[in-house]
């Protein structure tokens, strides 16, 4: 599944192990592990079809309290509708995809782990850091993959590889841009956990992944510039966050709920010997020139488009985890760490001062 495996004679990248068999380089049919999808909503619609197509997995059951949604997903993917109890009781089921509403994540994941299944869980584990910390012992030893999909994005992975290869020398600072194209509907705000826990949390995970050191101090400042209704609901829509590590590395995170120009997803890394940056993905490569200047296509509009590759790769990674061939790229502890940073951001914003991480926990 690595890009590095591409060659003129191989179509491994596009069609996975099955096709390597066709090319005469494999030795037999891929074994598939049966998985359950919990939740056929927004993220379930991303992960369910991906699981159905991933060599190494078979989407066996769909669980959703809304019968129509469950039925439609099951029909579309060749799966069956089931209750969670039924699905977990099936001894052939080896994995569970937790894509339910956020307030169900922790409970669903716990049940699946306790049934001995490998678990993929959408982020966040829960909005309440206390609950997440309390449950941590029950996840000891579990095969638990947390849905920080950006670690699987080919562009950010390429950036990480460059940094690890020393392309810019010792890392000194990061700049992370995460701008959503359009503000969410106001009804989404009250249960979202707020900008930092809902949105910035991805950037906090990216920062931890790339900085190579834990942030020890956080300063966040934010405004409500996009939609006054968001402000009335107690949230913000525009923020800048500065993280600082023990050795003095700095990371800025730029967030807005509405860019007006697509899903701006960029990371710049600065080091002792240079700079490396992962840029936006354009919808097509066409450029036009006339006397007024040059025009080009918009950037990818929103998460399903921009991160489609990362979602596929993440489920492929989950297949490897479920087969026991890989350790989860992101686990329960990563969920805790990102959530703790998000809480520190909230507190910094509210108190108007930098927050030391140890004082926050």
According to CB under 8 A, which residues from 167 to 226 bind a copy of itself?
A: 167-169, 172-173, 175, 179, 181-182, 217, 219, 221, 223-226
Is residue 133 at the binding interface for a copy of itself, with CB under 8 A as the rule?
Answer: no
Backbone region of residue 279 per phi and psi (left: phi > 0; alpha: psi in -120 to 50; beta: other values): beta
The whole-angstrom separation of Cα 6 and Cα 273 is 30
151 sits near a copy of itself (criterion: CB under 8 A):
no
Q: With respect to a copy of itself, which residue has the nearer C-beta, 65 or 271?
A: 271
Does the footprint of a copy of itself cover residue 257 (CB under 8 A)?
no
In the complex, minimum distance from the CB of residue 25 to a copy of itself, in angstroms, rounded to a whole number: 10
The rounded distance, in Å, linking the Cα atoms of 172 and 280 is: 22
| Interface with a copy of itself, residue 68, by CB under 8 A | yes
* Binding status of residue 135 toward a copy of itself by CB under 8 A: no
Integer CA distances (angstroms), 45 to 60, 77, 119, 231, in order: 15, 10, 17, 30
Q: Which stretch binds a copy of itself (CB under 8 A): 119-127, 129-137, 195-203, 267-275?
A: 267-275
Contact 275, 168 (CB under 8 A): yes
Does 138 sit near a copy of itself (CB under 8 A)?
no
Distance CA(114)–CA(85), nearest Å, equals 12
- Show the tokens assigned to 295: 């025009």
Q: Which residues are CB-contacts of 302 (< 8 A; sequence separation ≥ 6)?
A: 180, 181, 182, 262, 263
Q: How far is it, in rounded angstroms, from Cα 84 to Cα 23? A: 39
Position 73 contacts a copy of itself (CB under 8 A): yes
Which one, of 112, 97, 355, lies nearest residue 216 by Cα?
A: 355
**Binding mask of the shown chain, residues 282 to 301, with x at each position contacting a copy of itself by CB under 8 A:** xxxxxxxxxxxxxxxxxx-x
In the complex with a copy of itself, which residue's Cβ is closer, 132 or 242?
242
CB of 115 to a copy of itself, least distance (A): 26
- Window 30-49: contact mask with a copy of itself (x via CB under 8 A): x---------x----xx-xx
Site for a copy of itself in 315-354 (CB under 8 A): 352-354
Nearer to a copy of itself, 138 or 240 (CB): 240
CA angle 187, 226, 233 (to 5 degrees): 35
Smallest separation, CB 295 to a copy of itself (Å): 5
Least distance between a copy of itself and beta carbon 143 (Å): 27
By CB under 8 A, name the one of 259, 310, 314, 346 that touches a copy of itself: 259
Closest CB to a copy of itself among residues 342, 355: 355
- Distance, CA of 103 to CA of 125 (rounded, Å): 9
Nearer to a copy of itself, 161 or 361 (CB): 161
Cβ-contact 320, 56 below 8 angstroms:
yes
1 contacts a copy of itself (rule: CB under 8 A): no
| Residue keyed to tokens 């591409």 | 6
Choices 20-28, 95-103, 197-205, 339-347; region in contact with a copy of itself by CB under 8 A: 20-28
Does position 3 bind a copy of itself by CB under 8 A?
A: yes
Member of 32, 240, 323, 347 binding a copy of itself (CB under 8 A): 240
Say if CB 264 and CB 235 are below 8 A apart. no
Q: How far is the CB of 59 from a copy of itself (least distance, A)?
A: 12
Q: Residues near 299 by Cβ (< 8 Å), separated by ≥ 6? A: 261, 262, 263, 264, 280, 281, 282, 283, 306
């Amino acid at each position: 599944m690595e890009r590095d495996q591409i060659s003129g004679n191989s179509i491994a990248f596009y069609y996975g192990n099955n096709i390597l068999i066709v090319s005469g380089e494999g030795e037999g049919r891929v074994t598939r592990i049966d998985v359950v999808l919990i939740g056929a909503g927004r993220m379930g619609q991303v992960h369910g079809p991906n699981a159905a197509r991933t060599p190494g997995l078979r989407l066996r059951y769909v669980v959703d309290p809304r019968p129509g949604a469950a039925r439609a997903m099951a029909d579309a993917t060749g799966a069956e509708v089931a209750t969670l109890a039924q699905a977990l009781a099936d001894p052939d089921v080896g994995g569970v995809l937790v894509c339910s509403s956020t307030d169900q994540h922790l409970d669903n994941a716990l049940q699946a782990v306790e049934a001995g299944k490998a678990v993929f869980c959408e982020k966040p584990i829960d909005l309440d850091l206390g609950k997440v910390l309390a449950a941590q012992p029950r996840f000891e030893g579990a095969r638990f993959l947390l849905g920080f999909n950006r670690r699987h994005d080919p562009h950010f992975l390429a950036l990480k590889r460059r940094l690890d290869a020393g392309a810019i020398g010792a890392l000194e600072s990061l700049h992370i841009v995460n701008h959503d194209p359009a503000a969410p509907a106001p009804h989404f705000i009250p249960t979202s956990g707020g900008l930092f826990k809902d949105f910035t949390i991805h950037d906090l995970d990216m920062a931890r992944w790339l900085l190579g050191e834990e942030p020890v101090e956080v300063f966040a400042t934010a405004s409500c510039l996009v939609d006054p209704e968001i402000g009335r609901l107690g949230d913000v829509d525009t923020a800048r966050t500065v993280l600082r590590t023990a050795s003095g590395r700095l990371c800025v995170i730029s967030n807005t709920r509405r860019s007006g120009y697509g899903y701006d997803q960029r990371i710049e890394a600065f080091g002792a010997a240079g700079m490396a940056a992962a840029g936006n993905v354009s919808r097509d490569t066409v450029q036009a020139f006339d006397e007024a200047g040059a025009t080009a296509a918009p950037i990818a509009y929103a998460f399903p488009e921009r991160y489609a590759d990362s979602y596929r790769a993440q489920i492929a990674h989950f297949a490897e985890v479920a087969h026991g061939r890989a350790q989860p790229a992101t686990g329960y502890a990563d969920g805790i760490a990102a959530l703790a940073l998000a809480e520190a951001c909230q507190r910094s914003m509210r108190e108007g001062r930098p927050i030391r991480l140890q004082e926050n926990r």
